[in-house]
């Protein structure tokens, strides 16, 4: 969504609707992760999914809460270069 030529309310809601219909409940807008309730069980949280996001490069996988957690954890430990950095995640 961050790459849209114009990010207004209508284009944001349309993009979220399209992703929801494809059962893609996570959407990234820059550093912000939008999560939508799928109203049904989806295979999003198993150990296999968690492992994929453990050491992924930003942008190489679809947006997911595991990706946010991995980036925050590695930045906190200083693994991304530049030394350890405090992290905050708002839910």
| pLDDT tens track for 13-26 | 998 999 999 999 99
Output the pLDDT for position 28.
Answer: 87
Average pLDDT, the chain: 87
Instruction: Tell whether pTM > 0.85.
Output: no
Output the pLDDT for position 18.
Answer: 93
Q: Which residues of 27-42 are buried (b: 16+ CB within 10 A; e: fewer)?
A: bbbeeebeeeeeeeee
Output the pLDDT for position 2.
Answer: 67
| pLDDT tens track for 37-68 | 999 998 999 999 999 888 777 678 999 999 99
Diameter over CA atoms, the chain: 41
């Amino acid at each position: 969504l961050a790459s849209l030529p114009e990010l207004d309310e209508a284009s944001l809601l349309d993009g979220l609707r399209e992703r929801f219909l494809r059962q893609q409940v996570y959407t990234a807008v820059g550093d912000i992760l939008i999560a939508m309730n799928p109203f049904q069980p989806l295979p999003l949280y198993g150990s296999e999914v968690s492992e994929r996001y453990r050491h992924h490069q930003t942008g190489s996988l679809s947006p997911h809460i595991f990706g946010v957690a991995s980036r925050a954890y590695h930045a906190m430990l200083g693994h991304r270069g530049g030394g350890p950095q405090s992290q905050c995640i708002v839910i």
